[in-house]
Amino acid sequence: MKKNNREKKKIIKLNNEFTSQNFIHAKSLKTILIVTIMIFVLLLGRLAFIQFVDGAYLKEKAYSQQTINQIISPKRGNIYDSTGKVLAKSVPVDTITINPLKFEGDNDAETLALKEKIAKGLSDIFELDYDETLEKVNSSSQVETIIRKVDQDKVEKLKTWMKENEIKVGINIDEDTKRYYPYDTVLSNVLGFCGTENNGLVGIESTYNSTLQGTPGKIVSSKGSDQSEIPNAEETYISPENGSDITLTIDYNIQSIVEQYLAQACDSIKPKNGGTCIIMNPKNGKILAMATYPNYNLNTPSTPNQSLAETYDKLSSEEQNNALHTMWKNRCVSDLYEPGSVFKLITASVALEEGITTPDVDNDFYCKGFEQVADYRITCWTSPHHYLSLRGALENSCNPALMQLGKRIGTSTLYRYYRAYGLFETTGSNLYGESNSLFTEESSVGDVELATMSFGQRLNITPLQMITAVSAIANDGILMKPTIVDKITNTDTGAVTEVEPVAVRQVLSKETANTMKDLMQSVVENGSGYRAAVSGYTVGGKTGTSEPPIGKESEGYVASFCGISPVEDTQVVALVCLYGVAKGQQGGVVAAPVVSQMLTKILPSLNVPADVTELDNSTKLTTLPDVRNKTFAEAEKVLKADGFTVKSVTTQDINTVTVSDQVPKPGVSLAKNSVVILYDNSNTTRTSVTVPNLTYKSASQAINTLHSLNLNASIDGSGVVVSQDPPFDSKVEEGTIINISLKKNSSVTH
* Residues 423-467: tens digit of each pLDDT: 999 999 999 999 999 999 999 999 999 999 999 999 999 999 999
pLDDT value of residue 17: 54
Kindly tell me if the per-residue pLDDT of 54 is higher than 80.
Answer: no
CA 741, CA 718: separation in Å to the nearest integer? 8
Q: Residue 23 — pLDDT band, cuts 50, 70, 90?
A: low
Provide the total of helices (H) and of strands (E) in the chain, helices listed first. Answer: 24, 32
Cβ proximity of 575 and 284 under 8 Å: no
Four-way CATH pick for 73-193+206-248: 3.30.70.600, 3.90.1310.10, 3.40.50.720, 3.90.105.10: 3.90.1310.10
Burial class for 161, CB neighbours closer than 10 Å (0-12, 13-18, 19+): middle
What 3-state DSSP class applies to 401?
A: helix
CATH of region 336-491+500-605, choose from 2.60.40.10, 3.40.50.300, 3.30.420.40, 3.40.710.10: 3.40.710.10
Look at 108-112, 582-586, 698-702 and tell me which has the smallest mean pLDDT: 698-702
pLDDT greater than 60 at residue 746: no
CB neighbours of residue 56 within 10 Å: 9
Instruction: Encode pLDDT of 710-723 as tens digits.
Output: 999 988 877 778 88
- The three-class DSSP label of residue 659 is coil
Q: How do beta strands 540-546 and 496-498 pair?
A: unpaired
pLDDT surpasses 80 at 335 = yes
Domain range 614-743, CATH class: alpha beta
Residue 13: its pLDDT value, please? 55
**pLDDT at residue 296, rounded to an integer:** 98
pLDDT for position 101:
87
pTM for the model stands at 0.72
Instruction: Establish whether the linkage from the previous residue to 664 is cis, with ω within 30° of 0.
Output: yes
- DSSP code string of 614-642: EETTTEEEEEPP--TTSBHHHHHHHHHHT
Residue 15 has pLDDT above 60, yes or no: no
Nearest Cα neighbor of 681 from 652, 646, 638 is: 652
What pLDDT shows up at residue 223?
Answer: 52
pLDDT reported for residue 749: 46
Task: Evaluate if residue 258 carries a pLDDT over 90.
Answer: yes
- Mean pLDDT over all residues of the chain? 88
pLDDT of residue 286: 98
Residue 616 — pLDDT band, cuts 50, 70, 90? Answer: very low
Query: What is the per-residue pLDDT across 512-565, written as a single tens digit (0 to 9) for each?
Result: 999 999 999 999 988 999 999 998 899 999 999 999 888 888 889 999 999 999
Question: Domain extents for the chain?
Answer: 73-193+206-248, 336-491+500-605, 614-743
pLDDT at 614: 42
Mean pLDDT of 261-278: 96
For the segment 681-701, the average pLDDT, to the nearest whole number, is 81
Residue 139 exposure: Cα atoms within 13 Å on the Cβ side? 19
The whole-angstrom separation of Cα 265 and Cα 585 is 12
User: Across residues 356-373, what is the average pLDDT?
Assistant: 95
Is the CB of residue 122 less than 8 Å from the CB of residue 146? Answer: yes
Least Cα distance to 156 among 187, 126, 113 occurs for 126
CA 314 to chain CA centroid, nearest Å: 29
Q: Bridge partners of 575?
A: 278, 562
* pLDDT greater than 70 at residue 352: yes
Q: Are 541 and 520 in contact (CB under 8 A)?
A: yes
pLDDT tens digit sequence for 230-245: 554 555 667 778 999 9
Q: Is the dihedral of CA 579, 581, 584, 590 positive or negative?
A: negative
